[in-house]
Amino acid sequence: MSRMYPFITYKPNPIAGGECPHECSYCWATALKKRYGFEKYRGEYRLVEKELRTYPPDSFVFVQDMGDIGDPRIPGGLITVKIFDWMKKQPKVNFLTMTKNPTFYLTWHNSIPENVILGATIETDLKIPQDISKAPDTRLRLAQMAELQNITINRRFMSIEPIMKFSPSFADLIIDIKPWAVAVGFDNYGNHLPEPSFSETRGLIDKLRDRGITVWEKTIREANSRA
């Protein structure tokens, strides 16, 4: 199974510089940057104009897969003036943004074009230890994504990966968001995270599908729980 969402056709990264504030121990993008020392992702946040391409109609463009576009340290003008304007000029293209900080969407919802799918990563509905991730509280992320349906017509997408142990109410919290679609997958990189069982994960997927939600299955396997 591909490690990317199956509907994505392009993955531009128009924002250079910066370091993700979440410090997730399992982050493949951070590991890749450290391994290859990409100059592009060093220094202050800045715009790479050549990445603002024109795409064919009906394309699915995942913007900024090498970082969190919702990082509050990214200059607002760079996002709201440059990138949102670029998206707005291509109304027949589907753009996907992903963040672990949905406050970003609540702050800028009046500026986000209608062709942008508002995505969020959520690993669980339980508290994640700080040595695994310093991202915003999972329950806050879930509540903020649910709130978006009251203030914007943009579709919402949830990526439950890498999935970690969750409570019995997790599926209902995802359902409350009324997502356009959901992706579910286990860690691919041997990080020994606190994972749910295979049967628990299958139950979560089945419950979401029973409510008419499209679920893309990524890496689904037996748990390899954190020691």
Phi and psi based region of residue 33 (left: phi greater than 0; alpha: psi -120 to 50; beta: remaining): alpha
Instruction: Let me know: does 145 contact 158? Beta carbons within 8 Å.
Output: yes
Residues β-bridged to residue 4? none
Looking at residue 2, its pLDDT comes to 42
Q: Is the pLDDT of residue 29 over 80?
A: no
Phi and psi based region of residue 194 (left: phi greater than 0; alpha: psi -120 to 50; beta: remaining): beta
Residue type at 181? Answer: A
Q: Is the pLDDT of residue 81 over 90?
A: no
Condensed to tens digits (0 to 9), the pLDDT of residues 89-101 reads 999 999 999 999 9
CA distances from 161 to 47, 154, 219 (A): 28, 22, 9
For domain 15-217, give the fold.
Answer: TIM Barrel (3.20.20)
Write out the E strands in 58-101: 60-63, 94-99
- CA gyration radius for the chain? 17
Residues β-bridged to residue 62? 96
Condensed to tens digits (0 to 9), the pLDDT of residues 99-154 reads 999 999 999 999 999 999 999 999 999 999 999 999 999 999 999 999 999 999 99
| Sign, Cα dihedral of 220, 212, 122, 45 | positive
**Where exactly are the structural domains of the chain?**
15-217
